[in-house]
């Protein structure tokens, strides 16, 4: 090798060293985002545990005069058994129609097969009279709403990883002001809600416009909060995807069409749905005992 070529190589090597050691700039300097999980398992349950809905009367008829709180505890014990019946512990558990006190000690009871649940958020339904809507007084007047339970605790700061919204559109003739809530976890965002109930799923209903408006705001808010993260929305949308309920189906179509990202929708065959930006690898619905809830359990495995 000539002395001129050797000097050239040494100069090039010397120039490369400070470049490699220099701090990254621009895009390379950004904090790495948590890797999105390849698989997410979600179980959705509406537990009808407010003490005031008609489905709670079925619980009283079945269990007898043991007190509403004891009946509610039996419902939560059943929910734990239903979760434990899954071959693989779910990553996320979403719950509708529960009372705040129902979550007491629930995370610890849910753990199995070496998996523990460390995170939970409760999202109360609001009252048109102000504040959170209460469960029936026989349940101790605790707050009524929905919850999300996750394996991992919510990342800090909590204020930026938890979202809670009262819908703009509300049926004016009831006290309930429906809400939605989300948790932004490492690598994904999960939301849950219960939209306004429609009495006449098979025909015209003056409430449908409110339910559809809530669905549209749900999609908009959830996507904005999730950002680029994979998103899963699981809950009781009170809209049926069925040829027998074309008006409900049309509302759901418009809701999904409003999404700015590609989403997949799967349901329990009734009013509970999962809407996700991930691929749904498997979905299953299992009937629940009528004295527990009038909703089946919805289980989804989503992948990316």
- 205-258: pLDDT as tens digits: 889 999 999 999 999 999 999 999 999 999 999 999 988 999 999 999 999 999
In this structure, are residues 280 and 44 in contact, taking their beta carbons and an 8 Å threshold? no
- What are 289's two structure tokens? 């005992």
Residue, of 230 and 36, whose pLDDT is higher: 230
Contacts (Cβ under 8 Å, ≥6 apart) of 82:
43, 45, 286, 288, 297
Residue 19 predicted with pLDDT over 60: no
Count of other CB atoms within 10 angstroms of residue 29 = 8
Written in H, E and C, the secondary structure of 189-208 is EEEEEECCCCCCCCCCCCCH
Among the ranges given (9-13, 187-191, 261-265), the one the predictor scored with the smallest mean pLDDT: 9-13
CATH of 36-303, one of 1.10.420.10, 1.10.150.250, 3.40.630.30, 3.60.10.10: 3.60.10.10
Contacts (Cβ under 8 Å, ≥6 apart) of 207:
171, 196, 197, 198, 199
Residue 167's DSSP bridge partners are none
Residue range 237-250, pLDDT digits in tens: 999 998 899 999 99
The CB-based long-range contact list for 33-39 (8 Å cut-off, 24+ gap) reads 33/187, 33/228, 34/186, 34/187, 35/187, 36/187, 36/188, 36/229, 36/230, 36/304, 37/91, 37/187, 37/188, 37/230, 37/304, 38/303, 38/304, 39/281, 39/301, 39/302, 39/303
**Confidence (pLDDT) at 223:** 97
User: For the whole model, what pTM was predicted?
Assistant: 0.88
Tokens 């976890």: give the residue: 185
**Confidence (pLDDT) at 201:** 77
């Amino acid at each position: 090798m000539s002395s001129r070529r050797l000097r050239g190589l040494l100069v090039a090597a010397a120039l490369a060293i400070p470049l490699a050691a220099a701090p990254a700039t621009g895009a390379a300097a950004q904090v790495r985002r948590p890797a999105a999980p390849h698989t997410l398992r979600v179980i959705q349950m509406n537990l009808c545990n407010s003490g005031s809905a008609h489905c709670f009367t079925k619980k009283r008829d079945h269990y007898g005069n043991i007190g509403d709180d004891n009946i509610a505890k039996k419902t939560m014990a059943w929910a734990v058994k239903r979760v434990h019946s899954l071959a693989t512990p779910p990553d996320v558990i979403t719950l509708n129609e529960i009372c705040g006190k129902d979550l007491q000690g629930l995370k610890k009871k849910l753990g199995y097969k070496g998996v523990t649940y460390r995170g939970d958020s409760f999202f109360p339904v609001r009252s048109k009279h102000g504040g959170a809507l209460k469960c029936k007084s026989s349940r101790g007047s605790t707050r009524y709403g929905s919850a999300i339970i996750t394996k991992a605790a919510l990342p800090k700061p909590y204020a930026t990883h938890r979202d809670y919204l009262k819908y703009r559109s509300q049926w004016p003739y009831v006290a309930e002001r429906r809400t939605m809530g989300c948790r932004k976890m490492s690598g994904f965002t999960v939301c849950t809600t219960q939209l306004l109930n429609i009495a006449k799923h098979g025909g015209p209903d003056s409430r449908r416009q409110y339910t559809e408006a809530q669905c549209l705001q749900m999609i908009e808010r959830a996507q904005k909060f999730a950002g680029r993260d994979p998103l899963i929305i699981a809950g009781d949308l009170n809209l049926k995807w069925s040829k027998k309920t074309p008006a409900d189906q049309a509302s759901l179509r418009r809701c999904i069409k409003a999404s700015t990202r590609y989403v997949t929708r799967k349901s329990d065959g009734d009013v509970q749905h999962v809407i996700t930006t991930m691929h749904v690898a498997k979905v299953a619905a299992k009937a629940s005992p009528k004295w527990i809830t009038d909703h089946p359990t919805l289980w989804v495995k989503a992948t990316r």
